[in-house]
Amino acid sequence: MNESKDIAEAAVIPEFTPPPEDRTWAGRVLTFLNEISGYILFFMMLLITVDVTGRYVFSSPIPGTLEFTEFLIVFVVFFSLAYVQLTKRHICVELVTQRLPGKVGDALAVFVLVIAAVFFALMCWQSWYAGVSAWEYREASDGLVQIPVYPPKLAIPFGSALIAFQMLRDAWKRFQSLIAPG
């Protein structure tokens, strides 16, 4: 009993700090989309709960729940991706960069942000074609309930463009601090 108390006291639980507020138009848009993402996630939770309850209690599941939640998760991910970048909440491994001198580490961070922005810009460009094609052909899911697939396919280039833009914003800020005197 005493040993488990010592372990619990030794556990370090990081304190939650709210993300910094970005009052620019871009920050407000990303915050709004992140909130939409949260509402979608809440709706998915309710839908799955009702579906499971209907299946096991009333033997009557909601048709198309699986397909619908698969499509909604795309919005959850791509509507919140740029906000997570804005608030610096992405996982960051700093094994190498923490040992580099300040300016070298900042230069490497700018380089990595630009490369990542290029990656997401390419992802935006290529996924745009898939979304437009799905729109033109009125592509639908192959499940019990046919759901159009163009909305989630168009959410991917939209979210990719937003995170590419945010990464370029971050790279620019980091670059400005790199070339600033002092």
Residue 15 to residues 12, 18, 46, 94: CA-CA distances in angstroms?
9, 10, 29, 20
- Report d(CA 70, CA 77) in Å as an integer: 11
Query: What is the phi-psi region of residue 93: left when phi exceeds 0, alpha when psi lies from -120 to 50, beta otherwise?
Result: beta
- Give the per-residue pLDDT at 20: 65
> What does each of the 182 residues of the chain score in pLDDT, given as a tens digit?
555 555 555 555 566 566 667 788 889 999 999 999 999 999 999 999 999 999 999 999 999 999 999 999 999 999 999 999 999 888 877 787 788 887 888 899 999 999 999 999 999 999 999 999 999 999 998 878 889 999 999 999 999 999 999 999 999 999 998 888 86
- Report d(CA 8, CA 10) in Å as an integer: 5
Spatial contact of 71 and 155, defined as CB atoms under 8 Å apart: no
Dig out the tokens for 144 from the structure: 């019990």
- Other beta carbons less than 10 A from residue 22's beta carbon: 17
| Closest residue by Cα to residue 64 from 155, 141, 131, 149 | 141
Tell me the whole-structure pTM to 2 decimals.
Answer: 0.84
Backbone angles phi, psi at 10, to 5 degrees: -80, -20
- Give the per-residue pLDDT at 13: 58
- Give the per-residue pLDDT at 124: 97
Write down how long the chain is: 182
Q: In whole angstroms, how large is the CA radius of gyration of the chain?
A: 22
